[in-house]
Amino acid sequence: MRRDLKKNTAEVSPAVINRLPRYYRYLRELLRQGILRISSGELSEKMNVTASQIRQDLNCFGGFGQQGYGYNVTYLCSKISDILGVSNGFTSVIVGTGNMGRALAGSTMFEHRGVNLIGLFDNAPSVIGQIVDGYQVMDVETLPAFAEKYHIDIAILTVPKAEAETVAQKILSSGIRAIWNFSSAEILQENPVAIVENVHMGDSLMKLMYELRTAEENTGR
């Protein structure tokens, strides 16, 4: 099974991979609405992507669609889940229990993506020991011991920028391989097996600003 998946995804371009999370969201929404099959035309309308783009993207993974029948939403959703690692059951911890850490701890994002959040950490004595969304916040000094006891796949880094680099190195030296980085600091990837994904929310704000600027020019405000 694993080998098949690898073979199927080997030739998938990064651009397609980038679009998969969006397909996953839409397909999950269809499942919630009880829609079990959909044509590329209908999906195209919902997602505001051309039908040919959809067919091209989804055909990368081989034979999802059937002429005249459309896509089997359950099958497609589970296949994309496999590709994106949703079915891997990754474990994660949040490091930095400030406002951003708390906002994430309270979100359904992890559960919806098969990620198991197993601990919250902070370095402030006033925060350590607090109960946040059912988790008792632990001292970040105990992270290496915790990581030795429980396998942790992903650390979600929500500490202030000034502390980010030091904390990131502690995370990696604890044997945690992936960092989802919310601090605006660049994390040096000296560790060749480390995987760092930086969240740049400001880029999304700038897209909005661009839309607003061009819209205002067009309406002559």
Q: 67 or 208: whose CB is closer to its own copies?
A: 208
Q: 141 or 216: whose CB is closer to its own copies?
A: 216
The count of chain residues that interact with its own copies, using the rule CB under 8 A, is: 58
- With contacts defined by CB under 8 A, name the span among 35-43, 55-63, 66-74, 104-112 that binds its own copies: 104-112
Q: Which of 33, 48, 108, 126 binds its own copies (CB under 8 A)?
A: 108
Q: 20 or 54: whose CB is closer to its own copies?
A: 20
Rounded distance between C-alpha atoms, residue 34 and residue 90, angstroms: 27
Rounded distance between C-alpha atoms, residue 77 and residue 64, angstroms: 10
Q: 141 or 197: whose CB is closer to its own copies?
A: 197
Q: Shortest CA distance to 85 belongs to which of 155, 154, 179?
A: 154
Pairing of strands 154-157, 195-198: unpaired
**Residue 130, helix vs strand vs coil:** coil
Distances (CA, A) of 97 to 4, 120, 135, 136, 201: 40, 7, 11, 11, 19
Residue 18 within binding range of its own copies, rule CB under 8 A: yes
Q: 136 or 207: whose CB is closer to its own copies?
A: 207
Residue with tokens 């902070």: 122
Residue 177 within binding range of its own copies, rule CB under 8 A: yes
**Residue 65, helix vs strand vs coil:** strand
Residue 129 within binding range of its own copies, rule CB under 8 A: no
Pairing of strands 91-95, 116-122: parallel
Rounded distance between C-alpha atoms, residue 108 and residue 2, angstroms: 27
**Residue 178, helix vs strand vs coil:** strand
* Segment 148 to 167, residues that bind its own copies, using CB under 8 A: 153-154
Residue 22 within binding range of its own copies, rule CB under 8 A: yes
Residue 145 within binding range of its own copies, rule CB under 8 A: no
Residue 7 within binding range of its own copies, rule CB under 8 A: no
| Helix axes 73-84 and 14-32, enclosed angle (nearest 10) | 130
- With contacts defined by CB under 8 A, name the span among 57-65, 70-78, 100-108, 121-129 that binds its own copies: 100-108
Residue 83 within binding range of its own copies, rule CB under 8 A: yes
**Residue 163, helix vs strand vs coil:** helix
- Interface contacts to its own copies, rule CB under 8 A: 2, 6, 9, 17-18, 20-22, 24-25, 83-86, 88, 90, 98-100, 102-103, 106-110, 112-113, 115, 153-154, 177-178, 180, 184, 193, 195, 197, 199-217, 219
